[in-house]
Amino acid sequence: MQVNQRFSALYVRDFRLFWFGQLISLSGTWMQSVAQSWLVYSLTKSPLYLGIIASVASLPILLFTLVGGMVADRYPKRNILILTQALSAIPAVVLGILTETKAVTVAHVGVLAAFLGTVNAFDVPARQAFLAEVVDKSSITNAIALNSAAFNGARIIGPVIAGLVISILGIPACFYLNAASFIAVIFALSLIKARGTMSVHRGNFFDEIAGGWQFIVRDKAVFCIIMLISVFSLFGIPFYTLLPVLAGEIFNVGAKGLSFLVASAGAGSLLGALMIAFKGKVEREDIFIPFSALIFSTSVLALSFSGNFYTSLLFVFAAGWGIVSYLATCNSYIQNRVPDTLRGRVMSLYILVFLGFAPLGNSIIGFTAEKAGTITSLKSFAIVCIIGSIIFFKQFRKEFRHI
What integer pLDDT is reported at residue 340 of this predicted model?
72
Helix, strand, or coil here: 194? coil
Please say whether the dihedral angle defined by the alpha carbons of residues 218, 201, 83 and 51, taken in this order, is positive or negative.
negative
Neighbours of 2 (CB within 10 A): 7
Residue 188 and residue 324 in contact, taking contact as beta carbons nearer than 8 Å: no
Neighbours of 379 (CB within 10 A): 16
How does residue 205 score in pLDDT terms, banded at 50, 70 and 90? Answer: low
What integer pLDDT is reported at residue 386 of this predicted model?
95
| Integer Cα distance of 140 and 282 in angstroms | 12
| Integer Cα distance of 379 and 389 in angstroms | 15
Determine the CATH number of domain 11-190+203-402.
1.20.1250.20
First and final CA of the chain: distance in angstroms? Answer: 27
Residue 350 and residue 228 in contact, taking contact as beta carbons nearer than 8 Å: no
Model confidence pLDDT, tens digit, residues 58-76: 788 888 888 888 888 888 8
Model confidence pLDDT, tens digit, residues 176-190: 999 999 999 999 999
Residue 351 and residue 307 in contact, taking contact as beta carbons nearer than 8 Å: no
Note the residue count of the chain.
403
What integer pLDDT is reported at residue 6 of this predicted model?
66
Identity of the amino acid at 326: Y
What integer pLDDT is reported at residue 252 of this predicted model?
84
Helices (H) and strands (E) in the chain, counts: 16, 0
Q: How far lies 203's CA from each of 69, 74, 104, 311, 353, in Å?
A: 14, 11, 45, 54, 24
Identity of the amino acid at 223: F
Q: Which of 160-174, 197-211, 361-375 has the lowest mean pLDDT?
A: 197-211
Q: Model-level pTM?
A: 0.73
Q: Give the residue extent of every domain in the chain.
A: 11-190+203-402
- Residue 9, CB-side half-sphere exposure with 13 Å CA sphere: 32
Rounded average pLDDT over 214-232: 88
Q: What is the mean pLDDT of the chain?
A: 85
| Integer Cα distance of 277 and 9 in angstroms | 9
Q: Which of 54-58, 116-120, 167-171, 264-268 has the lowest mean pLDDT?
A: 54-58
pLDDT at 315 over 50: yes
Residue 156 and residue 313 in contact, taking contact as beta carbons nearer than 8 Å: no
| Buried b or exposed e, range 131-153, using 16+ CB within 10 angstroms | bbbbbeeebbbbbbbbbbbbbbb
What integer pLDDT is reported at residue 174 of this predicted model?
92
What integer pLDDT is reported at residue 1 of this predicted model?
40
